[in-house]
Every structure is written in C-alpha cells, then in structure tokens.
Structure 1
Amino acid sequence: MLTTHVEPAAGGIATTETNVRAYAWVVFALTVGLLLSDYMSRQVLNAVFPLLKATWNLSDTRLGSLSSVVALMVGVLTFPLSVLADRWGRVKSIVLMASMWSLATLACAIATNYGEMLIARAFVGIGEAAYGSVGIAVVLSIFPARLRSTLTGTFMAGGAFGSVLGMALGGAVAAHMGWRAAFGAMAAMGIVLVITYRFVISEKRLAPLQPASMRRQEHGLNVRMSFHALMKGLFSTRSIVCAYVGSGIHLLVPAAVWAWMPSFLNRYYGMTAGNAAVCAAVFVLVTGLGMVVCGNLADRLSRNARERKWGAAIVFCLASFTLLALGFRMPAGTVQLVLIGVGMFFSAGASGPSGAMVANLTPPSIHSSAFATLTLANNLLGLAPAAILTGIVADRIGLLGALQLVPFAPLIAAVAFFIGKRNYGGDLDRLNALREQAAR
C-alpha cells in the first residue's frame, strides 16, 4: 500500500490516491517494454556495422548515414506526430508507431542494398519519432502525481537499457547467425510486444484509472485546441522553460561520454576496441540505473514540499559536475574510473524531476505535446550536439582535454533549474487558479 501524498498539479492528475491498481503496472510494463524494443531496433545497427561494411563495401560515411537518418526523422517528426497523437488517440498511435518501427526493422533484415536499407532505417525513425513522448504521457495519465519523477526517470532509463540490449543481443545473434538474423530478432520482439499491447491496452480500459477532470479535458480540448492555445500551454511559465532548458543541457554529459568512452578507454587505457566497447557499456548501464534511483529519490524528497524536485535536480547536476570534473583530471587508473562511474550515475539524474515538472505545469490533454517539446529540447541542447562538439574540441586539445570540459554542462543546467525553482511555486499556483476558474 502506497502512502498518501498530495501534490498540486496543473493538469489535475490524480494526486490523492492511496494505491495504484495492478492494471496500471501492466500498462507501465508493456509501455516500457515497447521503449526497450524502440532502442533495440535503433541500436542493433551499431553491432553489425563491420558486417554491413564487408557485405556491401560501404564507406564510413554511408554507414554513419544509416544511423543518422533515424535521429534525423526523430528530431524532425517528434513534435508534429505527438500533437497528432494527442488528438487522434494515444493508444492507437502507440500501436501504429510500434508496428511501423518493427516492420521497418524487418525490412532491414531483407534489404538487398544500401538504398533499401537507408529507406528502411528512415521508417524506423518515423515509427520511433513520437513514441517516447506519447508513451510517457499514457503512463503519467494513470498514476498519482507523487510518482511522476520515479516513472519518468525509469521510463527514460529504458532508452539506456534498450541501447545496451540492442548492441549486446544484436552482436551475439549476428556472430552466430549473421546480420540479417540480428535485425530479424529485434523485429520479432517488437511485433510480439505490439500484438500484446493491442489486445491488453485500450483507451476504454485506461479511462477508469484517469481522474474525471482529465477525461473532460481530453474530450473537450484535444480536437478543438488551436495552435496558439497549444503553444501557450507548452510555454506558459518561466519555470517550464527552465525545465526544458535544464533537462536538455544536462543530458549533454551522458551523450558525450557514451559516444567517446570507448575511444577514451582505447587511447588512455590501451584496451582493444572490443574490450573498450564492453567496458563502456557498463557506464551506460550505470547511467540508466542512476536515472531510476534519482527519480525515485526526487519523489521521496518532495512528498511534503513541491519545490524539492527542483532542489533534487540541482543537487544531481552539481554532483555530476564535481565527480566528473575530478575524475577526468585524475591519472588513469581504478580511482579515475570509479569517480567517472559515480559521476555518470548522477549525469542524467535530473531527467525524472524534469519530466515531473513539465507534467505538473501542463494540462493532461497536451502531455504528449509537452513531452515532445521536452524531447526536442533534450535533443537540440544535449543529445544531438554532444558527440560532435566533443569531437571538434578533441581535434584541437585532445580527447582527454575535451572530456574535461564536458562536466561544465550540468553546472549550466543547475543554474537553469535554480531559476525555475524560484518561479515554480507562483507559476503552479497561478496555473491551478486558472484551471479552477475554467472548471466553474
């Protein structure tokens, strides 16, 4: 039995439940399962790069384009597809998206040349574009607001775990059965999950778990909301803008370290490429674990004080900055790796609190769009530029010097979260007052 906690929320999400129905956890498990499939389908490509290069005699540029086209589709289509999902129906959208990326991954398995593979990978990206924002919106709609940081952190950590699984399982299957079988295995997992999701989850079965205020909003607003009203809802306060900005900037660290850790271990520890990749995967797993733990910790700390989510995000950013700044300045050895590992544990820790802030500051009827905006900020400010910016600096001062500068990103994010914290209470009270007036 979960303890009662009341937290004001702009969207009127259920804030006073004392328990969570079993079906809600089934929805959560299947939605996270599809997120794992999402990232496994995306990252299996990295595991078979050498095999594809040998099969079709591809240049590194063409190999890279097979990965970049997915990120391009996700970046371009996340927001518009999330807005459509808010209006058309989230569960139906999830089934359609998961079906598309699973079938597109199957198409990768039977591709006969580079052009066919590129088109198939583009459809993988189209299918995955809005899943993160729509999936977390479904989850948050059926759980109490007091669990938002935990749920958001755990959901986003699924990306890290799915990436590791895609590379590890894909590599193992490819080693024994070839690269086509690796894509086929990822596609089969996705197809099984989407069929299960289709028969277990529906809007009708979700409705009883959602508060009446939310159902009224979704019935009355999803279709009729104008673009101007949508933008006003997404950027209504200074604190929500700070949540977008802080979340995006603080994710520059995990994105940069994930991309360059294999090279760092190869150059400064003398590891082979294979051993460096395996060791780097441990840091990815540590990051994912930290997202789950930090999200849960933020929820626990903020049970009786709504601003503590912001304080938790600030602490996580400062911890990441301190530990990684020290770690990358230590001589090579066990102590350095431990410091970097602990720093990575906190490096994405503000993801859960950031998602909770965005959910609290927006109406449930536009949560998919709000999380699409958060995803866009995460990509534009952190995930997308991290690897290339680190590489540009590394060309000038060396990889170690570049990685020594990376930890300053969460320091900047902490400033954004601090500004948001100072405005959060007033912003939330004002939004709740407007919601109450609209309900009369």
Structure 2
Amino acid sequence: MDIDCIEPAARGINAGKAVSRKYAWIVFALTFGLLLSDYMSRQVLNAVFPLLKQTWGLSDTQLGSLSGVVALMVGLLTFPLSVLADRWGRVRSLVLMAALWSVATLGCAVATNYGEMLIARAFVGLGEAAYGSVGIALILSIFPSHLRSTLTGAFMAGGAFGSVLGMALGGFVAVHFGWRASFGAMAGFGLLLVIAYRLVVSDKRIAARYPDVPAAKRQKDGVRTSLRTLLAGLFSTVSVVCAYIGSGLQLFIMGAVIAWMPSFLNRYYSLPADKSAAGAAVFVLLGGVGMVTCGVVTDRICRNAPSRKWITAVVYCLLSLVCLSIGFRLDAGPLQLVLLGVGILVVAGTSGPAGAMVANLTPASIHASAFATLTLANNLIGLAPGPLVTGAIADRIGLLGALQLIPLVSVAAMIAFAIGRSRYARDLNRIDALREQASPNEPAQKPLA
C-alpha cells in the first residue's frame, strides 16, 4: 500500500478544508463498490469448481492453477503498477483496472477450454493487481486524517465481503443458469460500476475540490532513492525478512483452505454447488472478521510492548494449526465445521502483527515499498501457491488428505516469527541508530504500535 505517498496528503486535509464532504463519501462508495467487484470476480471461480471439473474433466491441479494465477499476477505487479498509477493519475488508473478485470471476467464466461480460462484469469489478476493500494491511496487523500483508521479498516473489509458475495451469488447463479452466467453476472456488475465511476469521479474534480491532494506528489518527488538504497532498507534486518516470510506462509493456508472449501463441502457433505458456495462464503467472512478482530486484540495486548506482537503472531499460528489439523481429521459434522471455523478465524490473524513489524523495521521514507514487498510475499509465498499446491497433492492422495497436510505450514510460520522476535530488539536499535545518523537534530523514537 502506498503509505508514504498518501499520509502527507491525509495530514494536509482536515474537516475545515474539505470543500465537499458529500462528494468524498460518493467517491468512497464507488471505490468501495469496485473493490467488491474486484473480489467477486476473483472468488466466483471457487464457487464453480465442481461444475468446471465436471464439464472439462479438469484435475485438481488445474483447478488450483486457475485460482492461483490471479494471486500470482497480483503479487508480481502490485508494486510497479502502483508506481505507474501515481504518475499517470489514480482515478484513470482505477477505471482502467476495473474495466480490464471486468472484461477478463467476461472472457472467462466465453472460454471453451482450460487454456483460454487460464489466460482470462491471468488478465483478471492483471486488472486487480494494484487496485487495493491505489484505491485506498485515493480515499485517504480526500478525507481528514482523524478518519484514516476507520476508512482503512472499512475499505480492506470490502475484500471479505466481496469474496462472500462472489462465492454465494456465483454458486446460486451457476446452479440456476449455468457456470458461464456466473462469470457474466460478475462482469456485468463490474462494467456498470466502471461507467458510473467514470461519469462521477475524475482526477480533475478531486484536484478542484481538494487542493491539498497534490502534496502527495511533492512528497513522492522528495523521497526518491536509488535501487540499491531501497533494497537495503527493505531487507536491512533479519526480523523484517521474518515478518515478510511468516505472513506469506500463514496466507498460504488461508488461500488454500478458502479456495478449496466449496469443493470440500461439495465432496464430503454432498452439498450442491450453490449451497457449498454459500457455506464456503461463511468461512470467508469468518476469515475477514478474524483479520480485524485479531488486529484489535493485538493492539490492545501490545500497546506498551511492541515486541509482544511477535508472540501474538505465534499464538495465531498455533491456534490455526491445532484447529484446522484436528478439524480436517474429524468425521463430517457440526464439530468439524466449528473447529474449521475457529481455525479460519485466526489463520490470517498474523496479517496485523506482521504489517506493524514491517512498518517499525523500515524507514518511513520507503514505507510504500515496504508494504508492496509485504504484499509480494503474501501473494508469491501464500495466496498464489496455496490453491495450486493443494490441488497437486489432492490429485495424489485426495482433497481431504491434502487439506489435512496444509495446516502444517503454520510450523514454518511460527519458526519465522520466533526468529524475528529473537532479533527484534537489536534490529530496532540498529534502525534507530541509522535514523539518528540521518537526522541528528531529531531524536530517534521507538514505535509504540
């Protein structure tokens, strides 16, 4: 997320300076709506896994690749496309991205084989790659700073809500009108929002109503660094690398379980596609609620002791390992579903602690790049390979066997977070020393959050 570029703009705008609060909320609503479309287009695929498997005779590996290729494209392109969006214009970039993923989703609806579907899904990922970072940057630039946390939380929660809608509505439409209609419905929703967005929002209108927004550009121009210096800041300590890796490993489990939950409910609970998709949507919602809840709990516990965030991350890993491992080994029934729900509730709870540690362990001038790196790790280590690896294992030992093994990745995540905690104090002192050298007149301060 382009934190460095957006914070100065946010600080420069207060309630008294905002020319049109109403217009700001309209921009938020439309940007949030496109975020819903983003995740609906991404997750509708999981709802129609059983139908695609039956229609084209696909292996579980192929099904997993159709899901994983989107996360792969997002992971690879988030950072460069975010930089381009800041230079080309955020609103124009958002419109182009949303139009691309909507048209690509329509391409999924008319695909005639696995290869065509894979290409279309890759273009879905291309369109979605930078939407989250650019969208939140735009929103925070036009609202007063005291609303920043509220707006960020609400915007990011849209991912979970969009996933739920995509899986639930996609499954319903697929059962009644066919799987092609599911992709067509998501594409139509996205294109309607693109038209509305293009008619209502523009870079010129925002610049006219919020004259302080260009401060973001001035900040960006003042923090350009060489590639060598940038990389040195991003990977300067062992603990920050551990935060990247630990976060990605936990999201490997999240990505795998969420992608295959509709198929799990279809195969082992004998639910039709629409009901299995609706059931899986509940688990997706739990995952989103868990990310918010675990973040709040972590901040409460660690208010005066930031190093405890490493411990909370380890605890979330351990809870997810226990609940998911036991849950997938139980017989089908209510107890299994409860344990799986608890496991999914905490499996991505490490996202908050990991993000806080990345912010603490990197210079403020490169926070945008640091969060882009975290996004890269989350996708390339976690969300992209999770569904694919699970599908490959399922082809050999069955889906249930694969889902029983996947939670073991939490062990590696716990090790990464434990190593990070062991090095955190010395790494933080090293960064403080560097800050003192860079700004001798400003005393270094250890972060409290």
- Separation (CA, whole Å) in 2 of partners of 1:73 and 1:385: 12
Describe the shift of the 1:276–1:79 C-alpha distance in structure 2 as closer, same or farther (beyond 3 A). same
Q: Deviations over 1:182-210 (max 9, x none)?
A: 14432235315633773498468778589
1:38 counterpart letter in structure 2: D
Q: Does 1:347 align with 2:340?
A: no
Describe the shift of the 1:219–1:420 C-alpha distance in structure 2 as closer, same or farther (beyond 3 A). same
Q: Does 1:132 align with 2:132?
A: yes
- Separation (CA, whole Å) in 2 of partners of 1:407 and 1:50: 23
* Aligned-partner SS, 1:236: coil
1:245 equivalent in structure 2 = 245
Q: Deviations over 1:59-100 (max 9, x none)?
A: 648995765654453343233223434555555543442343
TM-score (norm 1): 0.76
- Work out the number of aligned pairs and report it: 422
1:4 equivalent in structure 2 = none
1:190 equivalent in structure 2 = 193
With 252-261 and 185-194 compared, the bigger mean Cα shift is at 185-194
Q: 2:222 aligns with which of 220, 223, 231?
A: 220
With 277-286 and 343-352 compared, the bigger mean Cα shift is at 277-286
- Separation (CA, whole Å) in 2 of partners of 1:50 and 1:394: 14
Q: Does 1:429 align with 2:446?
A: no
Describe the shift of the 1:176–1:196 C-alpha distance in structure 2 as closer, same or farther (beyond 3 A). farther
1:5 equivalent in structure 2 = none
Contact 1:153-1:352 within 8 A present in 2 as well: no
- Separation (CA, whole Å) in 2 of partners of 1:437 and 1:167: 54
1:76 counterpart letter in structure 2: L
Describe the shift of the 1:350–1:153 C-alpha distance in structure 2 as closer, same or farther (beyond 3 A). farther
Contact 1:390-1:402 within 8 A present in 2 as well: yes
1:297 equivalent in structure 2 = 297
1:382 counterpart letter in structure 2: G
Describe the shift of the 1:219–1:45 C-alpha distance in structure 2 as closer, same or farther (beyond 3 A). same
2:197 counterpart letter in structure 1: V
Q: Does 1:375 align with 2:378?
A: no
Q: Does 1:314 align with 2:314?
A: yes
1:3 equivalent in structure 2 = none
1:198 counterpart letter in structure 2: V
1:84 equivalent in structure 2 = 84
Q: Deviations over 1:109-147 (max 9, x none)?
A: 7x6867987765544322211223444555677787998
- Separation (CA, whole Å) in 2 of partners of 1:121 and 1:288: 23
How far 1:338 moved relative to its partner?
0.8
1:403 equivalent in structure 2 = 403
How far 1:246 moved relative to its partner?
0.8
1:409 counterpart letter in structure 2: V
Describe the shift of the 1:322–1:69 C-alpha distance in structure 2 as closer, same or farther (beyond 3 A). closer
With 252-261 and 99-108 compared, the bigger mean Cα shift is at 99-108
How far 1:12 moved relative to its partner?
12
How far 1:251 moved relative to its partner?
0.9
2:162 equivalent in structure 1 = 162
Q: Does 1:413 align with 2:418?
A: no
* Aligned-partner SS, 1:406: helix
Q: How does 1:265-344 map to 2 (within 5 A)?
A: 265-344=265-344
Contact 1:156-1:291 within 8 A present in 2 as well: no
Describe the shift of the 1:430–1:415 C-alpha distance in structure 2 as closer, same or farther (beyond 3 A). farther
- Separation (CA, whole Å) in 1 of partners of 2:305 and 2:53: 55
With 293-302 and 150-159 compared, the bigger mean Cα shift is at 150-159
Q: Percent identity?
A: 58
2:283 counterpart letter in structure 1: F
TM-score (norm 2): 0.75
How far 1:304 moved relative to its partner?
2.9
Describe the shift of the 1:28–1:389 C-alpha distance in structure 2 as closer, same or farther (beyond 3 A). same
1:43 equivalent in structure 2 = 43
How far 1:362 moved relative to its partner?
3.8
How far 1:250 moved relative to its partner?
0.7
- Separation (CA, whole Å) in 1 of partners of 2:277 and 2:6: 45
1:236 equivalent in structure 2 = 236
Contact 2:62-2:391 within 8 A present in 1 as well: no
- Separation (CA, whole Å) in 1 of partners of 2:418 and 2:145: 25
Structure 2 unpaired stretches of 5+: 16-20, 444-449
2:261 equivalent in structure 1 = 261
Contact 2:5-2:217 within 8 A present in 1 as well: no
- Separation (CA, whole Å) in 2 of partners of 1:258 and 1:250: 13
Describe the shift of the 1:343–1:72 C-alpha distance in structure 2 as closer, same or farther (beyond 3 A). closer
Describe the shift of the 1:416–1:161 C-alpha distance in structure 2 as closer, same or farther (beyond 3 A). same
How far 1:270 moved relative to its partner?
4.0
Describe the shift of the 1:117–1:257 C-alpha distance in structure 2 as closer, same or farther (beyond 3 A). closer
With 238-247 and 317-326 compared, the bigger mean Cα shift is at 317-326
- Separation (CA, whole Å) in 2 of partners of 1:60 and 1:195: 39
How far 1:294 moved relative to its partner?
1.4
Contact 1:10-1:428 within 8 A present in 2 as well: no
- Separation (CA, whole Å) in 1 of partners of 2:361 and 2:379: 21
Q: Deviations over 1:375-407 (max 9, x none)?
A: 221122222222233334445554434323322
Contact 1:154-1:292 within 8 A present in 2 as well: no
How far 1:336 moved relative to its partner?
2.0
2:317 counterpart letter in structure 1: C
- Separation (CA, whole Å) in 1 of partners of 2:83 and 2:98: 17
How far 1:438 moved relative to its partner?
9.2
- Separation (CA, whole Å) in 1 of partners of 2:78 and 2:376: 7
Contact 1:108-1:183 within 8 A present in 2 as well: no
- Separation (CA, whole Å) in 2 of partners of 1:341 and 1:87: 43
With 194-203 and 296-305 compared, the bigger mean Cα shift is at 194-203
- Separation (CA, whole Å) in 1 of partners of 2:351 and 2:129: 19
How far 1:413 moved relative to its partner?
1.4
- Separation (CA, whole Å) in 2 of partners of 1:304 and 1:46: 42
* Aligned-partner SS, 1:304: coil
- Separation (CA, whole Å) in 2 of partners of 1:430 and 1:118: 49
Q: Deviations over 1:244-285 (max 9, x none)?
A: 101100112222212333343344444445433332222111
